[in-house]
Amino acid sequence: MNDHSSKLSGDPLTDILRGLRLEGVEYGRWELKEPWNIEFPAQATARFYFVGQKACWLRQPSGEWVELKCGDAVLLPRGATHALASEPGARSSPVNGYEIREVCKDVFCLSTQGCMPGTLLFCGSMHFNLDGLHPLLGMMPDVMRTTELVAHDPGITDLLEAMAREVRLERVGSAGIVARLADVLAAIIIRSWVERGCGDSSGWIAAVRDPKVGRVLAAIHLEPTRNWTVEALARIMGASRSGFADRFAAIVGETPARYVTQVRMHQARQWLVRDRLRISVVASRLGYDSEAAFSRAFKRVIGQPPGHFRTSDQASGA
């Protein structure tokens, strides 16, 4: 049998972050003349904003307004409901009420007419390759701002300056370059947040940082399709079967078997929704002997049968 633990580094959190990727869905270059106020409904994908010219205001999911200055960048990792405006109280309208034109593949331009010098925004919708129920995503705050991270990660400043140059110039290919920079910046925002302690030293993060349990969690997340047994996980920790099970449950708050099942079902939901795989294919990938057995496990963890997500996906596509 292969020693899968050899794929792990010395830092479990780094190992788990290796599996976290951002994939751009669409980007926009917005030129907004005052006054303006755009409402954004909740969405499954993350939202990203970079202010290239003139400050504006963000109404956070909590309802509180905060000012975004020129050069600021913001990531809303779970795409929660929010608004952007030239100033709090400006007349609002939904984002789908504006005319948006495509300037190149997956890059769009929105502009408004007004009397005052406008705000220049670079906006992006992007999704993580991880399921929305992944513990790391669940712990992230609704809003992550670069202004709160620059002091701890000076490299962010260089990326912001590069983005500002490209956003303002409108040179050939600039939209694609800014899109790639946005991907990198979003990943750095998350990494900086993790390195600063994720805002909480307890719960799942504390379990990941445990020298022994963290190594096991990293192995599970790196290979969710593997048929993990308690014995195999105990070997990764270097402990007896009973000693491992007791320590894992005490720190993580779940038995090893239940945690493995949760990770596998979160992966299954990704395949059903994002990759649109058939239920039978997902069941086979995860090693289930029957579609029925897989469906029971899926509903027990996710709360809905797998067919619900296939139906929802087809309805949204129509």
**What single-letter DSSP state applies at residue 55?**
-
Residue found under tokens 């100033």 = 87
Q: What is the pLDDT of residue 148?
A: 77
Supply the pTM of this predicted model.
Answer: 0.71
Q: Residue 147 is encoded by which pair of tokens? A: 């202004």
Which pLDDT score is estimated for 200? 55
Q: Pick the residue with more confidence: 114 or 242?
A: 242
> pLDDT tens across 288-298, in order?
999 999 999 99
pLDDT, one tens digit per residue, over 188-210 is 888 777 777 665 555 677 788 78
pLDDT at 228: 94
Q: Higher model confidence: residue 176 or residue 100?
A: 176
Task: Report pLDDT digits (tens) over 48-85.
Answer: 899 988 899 999 999 999 999 988 999 998 899 999 99
Dump pLDDT digits (tens) for 159-182: 888 888 877 776 667 777 887 888
The residue among 111 and 106 whose pLDDT is bigger is: 111
- Reported as a pLDDT band with limits 50, 70 and 90, residue 315 is very low
Q: State residue 183's pLDDT score.
A: 81
Cite the beta strand spans of the chain per DSSP E. Answer: 22-32, 37-40, 46-53, 56-59, 65-68, 73-76, 82-85, 93-94, 100-104, 107-111, 119-128, 144-145
Q: Does residue 116 surpass a pLDDT of 60?
A: no
Say if CB 145 and CB 57 are below 8 A apart: no
pLDDT at 185: 85
CA 202 from chain centre, in angstroms, equals 21
User: What is the per-residue pLDDT for 121?
Assistant: 83
Strands 37-40, 93-94: pairing kind: parallel
Q: In this structure, are residues 146 and 189 in contact, taking their beta carbons and an 8 Å threshold?
A: yes
Distances (CA, A) of 214 to 11, 56, 75, 147, 204: 8, 41, 27, 30, 9
Distances, alpha carbon 125 to alpha carbons 63, 70, 75, 188, 284, in Å: 21, 20, 10, 17, 32
pLDDT confidence band for 2 (50 / 70 / 90): very low
What pLDDT, on the 0 to 100 scale, is given for residue 202?
A: 57
User: How high does pLDDT run on average in the chain?
Assistant: 81
User: What is the biggest distance separating any 2 CA atoms in the chain, rounded to whole angstroms?
Assistant: 72
pLDDT at residue number 314: 46
End-to-end CA distance of the chain: 46
CA distance 185 to 157: 10
- Token pair for 20: 């976290």
Is the pLDDT at 281 greater than 90? The verdict is yes
pLDDT band at 117 (very low <50, low <70, confident <90, very high): low
Highest mean pLDDT (candidates 115-124, 175-184, 277-286):
277-286
Tokens 């579609």 sit on residue: 291
pLDDT of residue 300: 94
- pLDDT for residue 157: 84
Which of 130-144, 254-268, 279-293, 294-308 shows the lowest mean pLDDT across its residues? 130-144
Q: Pick 63 or 270 by higher pLDDT.
A: 63
